[in-house]
Structure 1
Amino acid sequence: MRLSFQQQVFTGIIISIFLVIIVGYTSFNAIILQQENTGWVDHTREVIKSSSDVRNQLLTAETNLRGFALLKNRNFERTHQLASEKTWEQFLFLQKLVTDNPIQAARLDTLSPVLRSRLDLMARQLEMLKNENYSADSLRTMVLGGQKLSAQLKLYFDKIENVENGLLEIRENQAAVSSARAKQVILAGTAIFMLVIFVLFYVIRRTYLAQLNSEKETLKANQELAVLAIEDQRKNWILSAAVEVSVVIRGEPKEDELARNFLTRVAEVTQATTGVLYVISRIGDVWDLAATYAVDRKNDLPDSINKQSGVLGQVIQEKSVFKQLEVPPGYLKIKSGLGESAPGTVLIKTLMQGGKVVAVLELGYLEKPDDNVSKLLDRISDGVAISLTAARERQLTKELLDKTQLQAEELESQQEELRVTNEELTRQTSLLQVSEEELRVQQEELRQINTELEEKAFLLEEQKNTIEEARDQIQRKADELETTGRFKSEFLANMSHELRTPLNSILILSRILSENKGARLNDEEQKFASVINNSGNDLLTLINDILDLAKVESGKIELHSEEVNTDFLLAEIKNTFQKIAENKGLHLALLKGENCPEKLFIDQVRLVQILRNLLSNAIKFTSAPGKVSLIISQTDGKLNFEVSDTGIGIPANKQNAIFEAFQQADGSTSRKYGGTGLGLSISRELANLFGGAISLKSEVGKGSTFMLTIPLEVNPEKNRQEPVISEPVKEVKTEIVKPSADAVNERENRLLLIEDDPIFAEDMANKARESGFEVLIADTGYKALRFVATFKPTAIILDMHLPDLSGDEVLKELKSDPLTRMIPVHTVSAGDESIAKVMEEGAIGFMQKPVDKRSAEVIFDLLKLEGSTPEKKRILLIEDDAFQSKHFGDFLEANNLFVLYAYSGEEALSLLSREIVDGIILDIRLSDVNGLDLLDQIKAVPKWASLPVVVNTAEDLSQEDLTRVMKYSHPVVMKTRKSNDRLLDEVNLFLKKIQPKTAPSIQNNYSFSNPVVHSERVFVGKKVLLADDDMRNIFALSAVLEEAGFTITIATNGREALEKLGEEKDVDLVLMDVMMPEMDGIEATKFIRKQAKWNNLPIIAVTAKAMQGDRELCLAAGANDYISKPVDVDKLLSLIKVWLHSV
């Protein structure tokens, strides 16, 4: 029975609705089952993670307990307690998770008392370690018991996790099965539903089209029969002509050959009398003349056209596929041997591919062609456009292959694909002879090939992006390495801080004991204290060695090559080691070997550092009557420095290890020879920096030979710094100029003249000799630093512009060395230098070139004055009240100070321009000018900018005036009451600050100078709160302060300091360490300043990590002043005295 059209539609709709309901219900059940299985998988994973967390927390607690037992560090105790609490909390959470599994719940119930016992045992063990009231047996018993419990816990947890892992595998399989089933149900239902819809649509459409087509076919049958004969004839002509054209575009002809053959054949087939073909250029929007037919090039044909080029340009803009024009008179002539004639009609055809005009064809006819010509051109245009494009692509592909040889393998694949494509194109072209349909198939295939080429280009772009991503990853790795290096540097800085903190106490206490002020120690005990002090300084040297090794490894040390005299080098080494060798009964031989050059071009500082390390080791490991030798030679373009000894020798199995940091041939606890093991490691790294190496030959009991081999030239151009001056530097003769006999004083004065201008150097040397100086000349900064270490001059004249180092760098190096910081340095320069900056860095004066004889005499007199026994300091007292001025002046002169008096601002400026002063006492109220305005005028003059100033006034300053004064907070000390004692303390303090870099420090031999005023009675009965977490520092500072007469209250952290202040109401001053546990010094200071009752309590901040910005941070928190470790005791006592007076 055949259903009607309406019945078919209705039946299809009913079936579709039924299938939708079935598929929806089945999919819903499958998704619910999948969610349940997934939930059980997540639950099992959470149980496994919770079990692992319990074990990890327990392991953390045990590890920190062992750390506390070994180091007694409170951080380990806190971490252990926190881990123990988290262990039990996580265990309780695990019990809740396994309530659905009775077997696992039973295991955890059994495990609970064991875990509780282990935690309680660790708590008892911690308490025992904290109280230190245990025996070795009790501790061993407790440790063994803990290990037994830990083993039981491990077994239980392994069983629990094995069961859960098994459940996890089962549940994951179930979840996977349910997920796959759900997907299958959904996909199957969807497929069935779509199939029914498609069948329904197909049946309906077929019925409808069948009825419609039957009507149309009846109407068109007669019409098609009428024109069929004519159409067949036209198609046959078009097909035959298309085949003829296709013959000439087959194969792989070049682009110009293809264009010429195509134009010729199409003109012949269509009986055109003339023609031209323009093909798009590679740059786009320009079409170049590719071929002509029966055209005289003298007719001024354009070589190229664009969208504005007449009719052809208009056709390109409109993308017209065909245009027929009637030729006007005067058009292009068609010439032959018999004559010439103008064409009657012109046909213009655009050849397009993918919406783009590939070429423009123009044909000329004497008579108007029929429509078959235009249809032929329509039929062959796509194929020709494809062929032209393919020819162009072949050329581009060949060029691309030539340019990308690094990707040869992939490009060869593309070439093979292109060859296959060309063969396919040939095959498709031949099929044009058969039918138009096959030609269209060829067109589609060629389009697909172009798409594949575009995909290949896209793949190349992706590869480029991949390379870029790899480069970015390499850059990120480099950044990570840089970060690691920075972390290492920060670690070394922190390590230096942690070592210097206890070293501070050692040096302070050993200095106090070695002074033996109370005569409580006998000579032997005082000698012991000196040994402790020397050992502390040795430890400081070790710290510097470690930091030096870190600098070498991180590449922060650069070589500065210069010309070095070999004899001078050997003399310097001899001066260093001759006395040491003689004291040990050794023979020291320093020799020049075969082909030894007279002069070397090398970084002498680093070379001497290597040789000193090698010679020091040789002397240390050689016993009398042994021999140590250094031989310098040259072979094969390399310098050889051979250091030999007749010492104990080095075993073969230790000869590689000794070059590693902290490694020695004998590293046992009973070793005979000391040392850190850093010397050879640093030497090896420096040798590598030179481009050389250190080799070793040694035999136990016979001695060792270290051979340092360095290239004759160590990249001098790379390591040499550009001179600061632009003019060429002439060679300066380095010499010692003896003074005339009549000018030599009883005390010999040795002057080091650091100057690269030979004429100026010779002139200044003659003037210095006339003034009684023995003169030493150095023309570079590095040479000057060596001369200072070797000849120990009593005064220095420093030029600020040198070929290798700047004058600032030399001055900083001199003032940072404890052995040279006290040498007076006077600077000269031909440039515009900052006088305030030079004076701030420690110079005693500055003079601009040229220097006449009178100016030179002033310099030499000043150097003699600074190099001799210190005289009275000169103070300028600016006070308009004559009685007050005389009263203050008498008091200061009675305390060994020289006072200059000024009663007005004008007189003060006049005195400053004529006299040299060391400091200023300034009254705010003056008769002719405001004191603060005068202060601004003084500080605006560069040579007075660094002068310290005490502001002396009887009235309180406004906030605006206080702000003006605080602009000069570095050299200015504020004063709020008129008091002779307080004024003297302020003067005493700033005179110590006149040369801050020459002040004695407790880490450098403790050469304390006596203060100007010995007024310590102010300390008696005063109470100081000392807040510091390091008991060694507390002991050291307490000893110093108690000896001065203070009563000391101690707090070990910021919180305890606040409690002490609350309990003891009579605290006069607080010494607050910045770095403390629980609450640091900064937080404690801020809290103190928030309390109104402690607003006027003096607080001095103390820290061992004097980094940039620390001073501002402490003062911003509310501290009155700041001092860094190692503590200068004299400076500390002066600061305390100042701030006790201010209360």
Structure 2
Amino acid sequence: MLKRRRFTIRSKILIGYLVVVLLFGAVLLVLTALINTLQKENDFISHHDLDVHNLTNSIEKAVLDMETGQRGFMLTGNETYLEPYIQGLAQWNSHYEALYELVNDNRSQQLSLENIKTHITRWIEVAGEPSIELKRQGDQEQVLAFFQSDPGKTEIDLLRSQLTNFRNTEIALTEARVTDLAARSSTLLTVMYSLWGMIAILSVLAAIVISGNIIKTLRDVKQTISEIYKGGNLTQRIHVRTNDEVGDLGNETNKLLDTVQEQNRTKDRITEIATLMQNPTTLEGLSRRFLNELAMLLDIPYSVLYYWKDNRLLRVAAYAADGDKERSLGKVSLAPGEGLVGQSANEQRMLRLNDLPQNYIRISSGLGHAPATSLTVIPVIFEGKTIAVIELASMKPLQDSEITLLNEVIDIFGVSLHSTVTRMELQQLYDESQVLNEELQAQSEKLQVQTEEMLSQTEELQMQTEELYMLNERLEEQKNVAESSASELAEVADQLRTSSGYKSEFLANMSHELRTPLNSMLILSEILAENKNQHLNKEEQKYASVIHASGKDLLNLINDILDLSKVEAGEMEVDFSDVYLDSLPEMMNQYFLKTAEQKGIDFRIQLHSNLPETIISDEMRLHQILRNLLSNAFKFTKQGEVALTISRVNLPSATKKGQEDEVIAFSVSDTGIGIAEHKLVQIFDAFKQADGNTARKYGGTGLGLSISQSLASLLGGSISATSREGEGSVFTLFLPLHHGEQEDVYDSRLFANEVASTAPQLPENTSSRVPHTSSDISPNEMLLTPLEESLLRGRQVLVVDDDIRNVYALANALERYDMRVITAQNGYECLEMLESGEAKPDIIMMDIMMPELDGYETTRQIRNRLNLTSLPIIALTAKAMKEDRDKCLAAGASDYISKPLNMKEVISRMKLWLSHETLGI
């Protein structure tokens, strides 16, 4: 079949224009012919008729000139009068011949001319020549007789009549020609308009035919695209009827539709694969399903997947492996850089090999097997890290389009693989957390039971105390039994002290039991909060941080329960420093904003404008008090709001009568159930709540307000409460702005007892008092013997600690025993001082937890590199686990003391090791 000739749009347009040009050319030819004819007619009229008239007039003039000359000469006899005659005689015949030639197309006119010639000739013969001859002969009589007879007059008259007729005939012919020329001009205009109309019609018809031929396919393209747009029908195709650019457009549109349809099928397949990748919950199941889908998508008959774990590539799944697994699947484990798989993992790029040897790998089925000829190794990358490698074998090389599709599918699989592994890790952590939570819950239930038993014992002791009061009253009335009653009272007091001891011992044991599961929870929540593998989003990471912070708070609360007796004795540790008030809203929002949202309660924090930037207080204890107050407010509030307001107020001075002190008031208000007025006092007692019956609605141990009041006292403040039952409560914490002239002492926890001893005492009837706290180092001096004093005096002690406050405190304490103290702020500085000889200490006090170079490594280098094996080194650490002591001794430390330090114990250990050094032990 012959190939259809291509007829482009340009050719069609050019042909259309050519047709128009040809039509215009034909019209121009016709018009030119007509115009030439008219021009000839016009020229004929302009030249022929004019020449006829001119020649007629010239003949007539010549005859008149001859007659005039003839008469003048006959009258005068002067030869000069013959000149017109002679000229006319010479000219009339030439004019006659020319005129006769001009009217050769009109025989009648020629006949008229012939008659005219006859008369002219006759006049010349009968009148002209004879008269002149007579005049020349001088015969005057005959001349007069000639005039009287005048034989030429008749000829002249006939000549004039014939010339007039001839002229009138030519004039009539000229007018006829002019009329005909006008008619033909009108006909020419009609022809011109007719031809223009015909050309216009033919041009329009050609334009309609050509444009229709072009627009037909364009309309088909538009209709097809419109159907695709409206109905999404990609199966519609354009019927191409022309072999031109419009046909090319239709063909290209069909190709585009084929490509889009194929891309949509591919995208649908990729979407199906992505959906299938969400279901598996195990790494092996996900990998096998992906290899199966990959085989169906790209017709890949053989594949193996390696997963990156613990810096190794482990084989986890394969597709179409035969019975000989060692031969068909290769190695079970690969190191990074080992083989093509390891190299692809390191380089993070695809590796392709074609024309594989016959024995490289075989693809088998039930009917037989054949060697693979193409190998493709592609890494699975997630967030810039290689997490797996896939090795594919096929009978033919993959095409570029298949490689592009493979990359898209691999990217989706990378996300699914990472999500599955992350989900498995989170599930494992969740299971472990569940176990720990169950253990913690069991311990809590046990503690609750024991707490209730202890509460019962406390109530019994309280009843016994009331009985003692009654006995005291009886003693006043019955002095005779005073000694017996006093003995009974002492016995009951001993029982009370014994019961309190049991309580403290029980709290210590239970607090130790709670620390073990709580420690694991803190470690796991801290791992989740660090989010090193980026498994959690920001909000989940924030949740983990809040869990960790809450766990730490719980640990602190357990420590507070353990030290409840210390609180009552005024020995709780405090750390005074600058507390920034503007940071409190963010901190409290982190703890309670979620609680407020969950309960549907408004939570607002308001700071008044007249507040200072900072106050001197213990930030951790302040936060603990506020959290206790806010926690109670949320617990007893079902609707409405909970508010924290911080303001500066004036209260009557406790030390200066008639004056006021400025304090900071932290008011926690709620719209909860409120507290009955008669219960406002007892709620600050330990294990007491407003709802104190055994079937109370709200949980809790009842220690929160008691501990908060004690902590407020330690901070130099107090807590007041106002409430109206059913309307809400307001708890206000009052803290001083300043702590007297000893404020700078609070920068170090080492001298809190000294501050307490030097601070002014408040009256006993006030709820605020200066705290008596313990510190990291007790400065109580020992009474030494002269021998012991000489053992310590002048000794050089090297204190290595990165906390300048501890260094300062320890140095001041040791200098009281006339010891010379030098300091190093880190392990590197300590080693440099010892190596250069700048320091030659008799003993080293080594802090373990230091940045960069810790105490363990510093001690090892002192022993091994500097070879100072006999120099006493006492390790100091805040950690107090059994293994920490073993680590310190294994690193080369001579002794181990846990923080907080007791100076008596420190001096005792120093005496021991300095005496060993002195005796050379």
**Fold shared per TM-score above 0.5:** no
TM-score range, shorter chain: under 0.3
TM-score by length of 2: 0.28
Decide which structure has the larger Cα Rg and report it: 2
TM-score by length of 1: 0.23
